[in-house]
Amino acid sequence: MRVAVIARRQPAPILARRDTIEAVDPASHGVSPGVACMSIRAQLKSNLIAIVSLTIALASFSYTTWRNERSEHNRTMRQAAFQLWTALGEMQQVVYHAHYDHDADRGNPRTGWVYVDTITDFSATMPASVPARAAELRVAWREHWENLGHEDADAEAISDAVDRCRSAVVETLKALH
């Protein structure tokens, strides 16, 4: 297969080695003067640097795109983790106020439900272990909130669920790269 290419030096037909450039009468092939036909092999050889440069540029662009996507994913995970930690800490405070301080305002069960819902919502953006722990916290709160202030086992069950959820968040952050 031959492809027409503009000759660089002479408009007349060029005589050279067969694997690089063939002597062709441009007018007899319908090619304007100054154009010679080169084999594909010769064109690859003469444009090797451009081909390698293009390959490197595409590979670099692909890597940069992948790295940006990964960094954005990690930022999202970190942000969700920090929000979860905040909500988990506030949830723990609700338990302490309700159970140990018998404070009806700061240990309000409705406030606890708000934190449980917030924790569940933020955990949805995390890997599977965190939403599972958030679901366990929801179950522990649902089953034990009514006896806060009366039974230590209820406060411990909720606190243990909060701690397990917190541990799952820490493990998720450690796994980021």
The residues spanned by each domain of the chain are 2-46, 72-175
Across 102-106, 124-128, 167-171, least confident range: 102-106
Tell me the Cα Rg of the chain.
Answer: 35
- The pLDDT of residue 35 is above 50: no
- The pLDDT of residue 15 is above 70: no
The amino acid at 73: H
Give the whole-angstrom CA distance, residue 88 versus residue 81: 10
Distance from first CA to last CA of the chain, Å, rounded? Answer: 49
What's residue 31's pLDDT? 53
Q: Three-state DSSP class for 46?
A: helix
pTM over 0.85: no
